Structure 1
Amino acid sequence: MSCDFAIADASVAQNKLLADIASKFSVTDEHLADVATEVHRYLANGLEGDNVPHGLPSRVSYIKKGIAEDIREAKKSEGLALGLTINTSANRLKVASVKFVNNAPDIINKQVFYMTKGIPSASQLFEEAATHIAQFVNTHNLVTDSSQIPLGVTIDLPLEETSKIGGRVACDTRGCDPFFMNVDIAQSLSSALLKRHLPVRVTSTTNCVISTMVAAQHHFQTTCAALILNHGINASYYEAASKISKISGSDLVGSNAKVAINTELARFGENSVVIQSTMWDHRIDRESGNTGYHIFEKLVADKYLGEIVRNLITDFLDARLIFPKDADVSTFSEPYTFFTSYMTIMEDTSDDLREVGDLLDTGFNVKTSYVDRQIVRALCRIVTMRAAKLVGAAVAGVVRKATEAMDKPAQAVVSISGQLTEMNQPYVGCTIKTAQELLSKMNLEEAVFNVLGEDGYTVGAALCSFSS
């Protein structure tokens, strides 16, 4: 993706506005290095205690780095396990059955279920989930004897693990989500499964970014970090228990264990001295339901990227610099109508940018000129490049922290999962490239990046179920 966004046939005014936007979204190498450094500092501060002003939550998981070896040694991998992903942002559940094939985990069956809209309570959500699990188990004839099938649950919300099996959605600076208030996920789902007399037992509860890291370890044993690129964003890594001050009183104190840390990377940027937000970012933040929080996520995550592009298009509309003057452009005034999935049009390299034109015609009922299509493609590229570079910088900070926890120097392996890995490959490629360049400047060895796709955390959930 070129950094020169000038359009040959565009007017001076069009190119001027495009150049102004590009300059405001530009991030220098020095700025990216500062982001990586500050993420590293936030991670270190988060190990000191909860709610540290310049720290990330850094939630400590019961999952330890040796989980892959433990599963193999126990020979539990000879059996079948279920993984359940609760994707609240997409209002869906994914169930998968996982077995080991040639000593590696493999999905045998999978199915996606959509949750009923407007479901009134968490207890009813788990009742619905249990119904879908029963349907999945019966459809695929998974019950062959009287033995119970272990089920690992993973969720895309902040999770406070309360035991090796259970966990509650955590409170953060915005308070507690009333929908999940005081709800133990494992206990609630187990109760719903019991009513249906299913031979399925919940044996683990994790956040999606932890389960992604566990899944990756079965492909690359030296996996030390994971990144989720979904509706939101998150990262995890393995930390030495001896460096976690806030776990005083835990049985981990004084141990040599390496434990999984759920960083809650989306929270980065609150009280940051290096995040540079544009006026469009401020607008997104102001109009969101959590103004002042999750600043970094609003710059880089799937939930917001399309909305940033829509705001930029409206600036061109207000300046009368795009689309026919008699076009009905009212749809562009409606928030979140330009979906992030539309941004794949930035890869359109056809002579007439037909894919861009078809999208604007069918999605917004607007007939466009070639210059119009070039402008929209350029805006998608500008927003994507900034987001990907910032995420790459954050990943470099996470990898630096993870390598410091290693017993001996080794090449870091980072796993990436989530829908953006399949929906926007230029984003992923730019993220990896930026991270590698920054790691080199830190005098660290380049990392290996392992892209698992959207199924990664569901496989990881099933694997976690073996570990109990």
Structure 2
Amino acid sequence: MANTSAIYDSFPESSQRILDDIENQFGMDEKDLHTLTMQFLREFSVGLAAYNHPMAMIPSFVTGVPDGTETGTFLALDLGGTNLRVCEVELHGNNTFTLRQQKYKVSEALKTGEATVLFDYLADSVDAFLTDHASSATPQGDADLIPLGLTFSFPVEQTGLAEGKILTWTKGFNAKNSIGKDVVKLLQDAFDRKHLHVKCAIFGTGTNGAYLEDVAKITKLGNSPAVAKGGKMIVNTEWGAFDNARVVLPSTPFDKKLDRESINPGFQAFEKFISGMYLGEITRNLLLALIDATPKPILFGGKSTTALNTHYGLDTAVMSEVEEAWEDIPETPWDEQQGESRIRAVLVKQLGFASPQDVSLRDAAIVRWACSLVAERAAKLSGVAVAAVLVQTGQARLDGTVPEDAEKTRIGVGVDGSLIQFYPRFQIRVRDALRSLVGAQVEKIVEIGMAKDGSGVGAALCALQAVKQHPEALIQG
């Protein structure tokens, strides 16, 4: 946790108490991390056993994962916001691939009009992509159709590899005459109307955590043919909804304010603690509380700025810039002043203060401390999620011992996002939490790799797996 000793020099006792209290609220010791991981495992179990739980544990019906030797060209369609993305992934058979992609604007009229019009537009976009990019994607071998994976980032009840009913729309979408209908059929019908030789082989909802689970543990599948087949299946955890009741998550007043003012209060609790979308807002709430502290302001002499007074006015990228300005600095008191001066310059520029005189070196130290508190908690919670998956899959135990049949050389974890890639020391903090939970022996063989363009490449790779499972699906007639 961030050290506040330098901040306290000549501070009033009442201010020190406020800072101490905030630091305690954000702090999580090893016991807290263990409690959170156990709750994760309980929610995993509940979600695998029955439908309609916050931790949805959605079966993908994709069995197995690529080994890197595969070749071929696959399409992906990613719909989840203002733009849709069409991707072509060409696998070279040596663990490498070539990605071509294009974004297409989704108008407000399309978002709220008839479902058939929206899905016709999706099909037209795929057609335009194949035409404009002189695609190498053509039916291969004995196949008549090009396989396509769909990333559909809206609530769906998935019932098969390429089957799923739309439950509701979010993110400004509300396509008419679509609720309860099979999203894959809606898309495939549009492809067929356009006479495109494309087959939607699989689809998946937007996810924030997926892993390979023993089919036998997914008891809510009942008598599904997938159960009789056995083996393993990719499960989409939807762990953004972990602990929506906030029983074990370390909620602070700053988190509660964020949740209350969000578009989905009471939902996606875990996501609001660890996602880069929200960390800046949590930090802004914290800084405002220090600006407004009584009987005397603790920060910026009680002054604020337009950025600090604006909902989501502090971007997580600013937090990253603040912590980066401090990196490798504090060796001597002089070095600390140099670091605080660099942070001061960042704050004047990014928060809109009129001059450097509006931001003291102490202000800079306090902001750095606040950013570190929020980011370190997010990293620790991310480590909890990874630890829970390792325990769930038999790769680790929470007492630090290693199961006999656990992997001994390498455990691959693919991640995507600016936090893990760019935020100073974020991955180190994740690993610290992971090591405290599952022990150094397991942590050291966990390889965290960047999975860039995950929603597009991932959908294409899932299409590959779907073709492996059902090659006959690409043959017409």
Q: TM-score, normalised by structure 2?
A: 0.78
Counterpart contact for 2:26–2:250, Cα < 8 Å: no
CA displacement, residues 170-227 of structure 1 (integer Å, 9 cap, x when unaligned): 569x9xx855733533333334444555443322102344xxxxxxxxxxxxxxxxxx
Matched ranges for 1:49-448 at <5 A: 49-51=50-52, 56-65=55-64, 67-68=65-66, 77-88=70-81, 91-116=82-107, 119-121=111-113, 125-142=118-135, 148-170=145-167, 181-209=179-207, 234-271=208-245, 273-319=247-293, 320-323=297-300, 329-345=305-321, 346-349=323-326, 351=338, 356-357=343-344, 359-366=346-353, 367=355, 368-403=359-394, 408-411=405-408, 412-424=411-423, 426-440=425-439, 446-448=444-446
Q: 1: CA distance between counterparts of 2:9 and 2:195?
A: 66
Aligned residue type for 1:275: L
Secondary structure of 1:162's counterpart equals: strand
Q: What is the identity percentage for the equivalent residue pairs of Structure 1 and Structure 2?
A: 27
Counterpart contact for 2:75–2:137, Cα < 8 Å: no
> Which ranges of structure 2 fall in alignment gaps of 5 or more residues?
330-337, 397-402, 468-477
Q: 1: CA distance between counterparts of 2:128 and 2:89?
A: 17
Shift of residue 380, structure 1, vs aligned partner: 1.3
Secondary structure of 1:337's counterpart equals: coil
Q: 2: CA distance between counterparts of 1:291 and 1:317?
A: 26
CA displacement, residues 13-44 of structure 1 (integer Å, 9 cap, x when unaligned): 45554333222101111100111111112112
More displaced 10-residue stretch of structure 1: 455-464 or 365-374: 365-374
Bigger Rg over Cα: 2
Query: Higher RCO, 1 or 2 (CA under 8 Å, sep at least 6)?
Result: 1
Counterpart contact for 1:61–1:260, Cα < 8 Å: yes
Q: 2: CA distance between counterparts of 1:428 and 1:159?
A: 32
After TM superposition, the runs of 4+ consecutive aligned structure 1 residues lying more than 6 A away are: 404-407
CA displacement, residues 412-439 of structure 1 (integer Å, 9 cap, x when unaligned): 4322223433342532332233123311
Aligned residue-pair number:
429
Distance change in 2, residues 1:454/1:364 (3 Å):
same
Q: 2: CA distance between counterparts of 1:48 and 1:125?
A: 35
Q: Who is 1:39 aligned against?
A: 40
Aligned residue type for 1:35: L
Secondary structure of 1:335's counterpart equals: coil
Supply the RMSD in Å over aligned alpha carbons.
3.4
Distance change in 2, residues 1:171/1:194 (3 Å):
closer
Shift of residue 145, structure 1, vs aligned partner: 6.0
Counterpart contact for 2:25–2:250, Cα < 8 Å: no
Q: 2: CA distance between counterparts of 1:296 and 1:386?
A: 12
Counterpart contact for 1:165–1:203, Cα < 8 Å: yes
Aligned residue type for 2:135: L
Counterpart contact for 1:421–1:454, Cα < 8 Å: no
Shift of residue 166, structure 1, vs aligned partner: 3.4
Q: TM-score, normalised by structure 1?
A: 0.80
Distance change in 2, residues 1:369/1:287 (3 Å):
same
Secondary structure of 1:109's counterpart equals: strand
Shift of residue 454, structure 1, vs aligned partner: 3.3
Distance change in 2, residues 1:178/1:131 (3 Å):
closer
Q: Who is 1:212 aligned against?
A: none
Secondary structure of 2:25's counterpart equals: helix
Counterpart contact for 2:7–2:366, Cα < 8 Å: no
Shift of residue 457, structure 1, vs aligned partner: 3.3
Secondary structure of 1:414's counterpart equals: strand
Counterpart contact for 1:38–1:397, Cα < 8 Å: no
